[in-house]
Structure 1
């Protein structure tokens, strides 16, 4: 999602300086673990059925015996950046990772909508906690974290706020629909949103500008990231924004998050919405967050 132009109409804030020193990178980000012949890492592709469609999904399974903490990783709108480098880093760190395409996106059956994507994220969480699925993929259901990028950040917060068993939440330059709706009040904001949606519709089946805009304008309580983060409460939460992306949105909703959880961590980096020049740093931040939620043996 590329809506930095909307934010420039009044939501931009002062730049956050870059990190003064390059940190020591977590080994899982840059090095393969020792192979485990008895319990190797793997990958499984399958379909998660949902009402009105299905989710094409992939599970990256971590090496090693026993159960593993598990990450649900949600992509944005439409999902050109899949963040699978983050999935691989998390798996090297000992985590299973579930990725998916929302119904109606990238070949998943059904019609795409924001409400549908919200339901899909929650359905994926419930899927991970089914006893048969947990047994099949060696999932530690007490250590499930949700991460999301852009629109996926909103969907991650929405699902995590509704599921108290989620152990942690990691948001990557997350989208706040409420701030988009506020920007629609100006002609420039409306034009920017129209351009954004038009560029993102091709891989989405059945979605229209009118339908998507109607969703976020007709249900302000549902599509409000700050409200979701306040409802998430006192659980581990890190938000990483992008100065050249929609980091101003992250700054604004952090106040709501910190009112409920003073330990919420916010970082806004001098990069673009896709973190094009900060992928190693992003993977490192995610892996270290996951280690704080559920340490694993590597």
Structure 2
């Protein structure tokens, strides 16, 4: 199937029918809230965990729907301390929550209840979510494929914060988006980024991703993750290592890929069809 598939691909007689159940996951003593876009049929369905950015205004539900039409079960969820979920928000909690959810979708309870295939799980993220997707895949060799869309390289940003003006700009930018988040501040988020430093440089992940399919999507008209800082250097490092199954695209669009959503969906589905489902 492809992103151009329609609901006609799932005839009314196909059971169980497609569904969009609310799901919950434990992480760090709190309950994360999510929505699973499950395709029709008994499965087992390959799974894509979608990781949204900061603070989560763009949650990529259009990608979830496109993935479902293509036969994938697609999950969107909120991190701890965001959008009404309990706990405090931090970058590290985002990473912990992403790892917990990816592990949970492979568990017997989720797989059995929703017809999921624990052997075919991919992680796709946007912005902060792109960073978290690559970090999660690098730490978990069972992730079958990973895609970063306008990914934010926290290690590169931390290094840039040595310039006081750049640092102040990040504090202000983070402060402007705190309304849906709990127990944090722009200053706290910048300090956490600085404390992690080189450990959060995405280029350092190349050895742990060398044998995995990796898709990097950059954005050419994007002041949030400018390609010269967050995309081109990462492509170069992964090609040089090499990450053998690397694919990369650059779209001339803004941070949310506002006028490239259909092209983005086609790119992600095509990548997963070739890489996650190969040999299935």
* TM-score, L = length of structure 2: 0.92
* Corresponding residue of 2:127: 150
Query: Is 2:274 the counterpart of 1:282?
Result: no
Segments of structure 1 that go 5 or more residues without pairing to the other structure are: 1-25
- Partner SS state of residue 111, structure 1: coil
* Corresponding residue of 2:91: 114
Q: 1:136, CA displacement in angstroms? A: 1.0
Which of 11, 31, 44 is matched with 2:6 structurally? 31
- Partner SS state of residue 66, structure 1: coil
Distance 2:40 2:5 in 1: 17
Distance 2:75 2:221 in 1: 28
- CA deviations on 1:115-157 (whole Å, 9 max, x unpaired) are 0000000001110111121111111111100000000001111
* TM-score, L = length of structure 1: 0.86
Equivalenced residue count is: 271
Distance 2:2 2:46 in 1: 18
* Corresponding residue of 2:58: 81
Which of 234, 252, 255 is matched with 1:253 structurally? 234
Which of 156, 160, 166 is matched with 1:189 structurally? 166
Distance 2:95 2:246 in 1: 23
Q: 1:103, CA displacement in angstroms? A: 0.2
Which of 230, 254, 267 is matched with 1:272 structurally? 254
Q: 1:27, CA displacement in angstroms? A: 4.7
Q: Between the two structures, name the one with larger relative contact order (CA 8 Å, sep ≥ 6).
A: 1
Instruction: Please say if residues 98 and 136 of structure 2, whose CA atoms lie closer than 8 Å, have aligned partners that are also in contact.
Output: yes
5 Å matches for 1:42-61? 42-61=19-38
Distance 1:117 1:217 in 2: 16
- Partner SS state of residue 231, structure 2: helix
Distance 1:237 1:36 in 2: 35
- Partner SS state of residue 74, structure 2: strand
Root-mean-square deviation (CA, aligned residues, Å) is 1.7
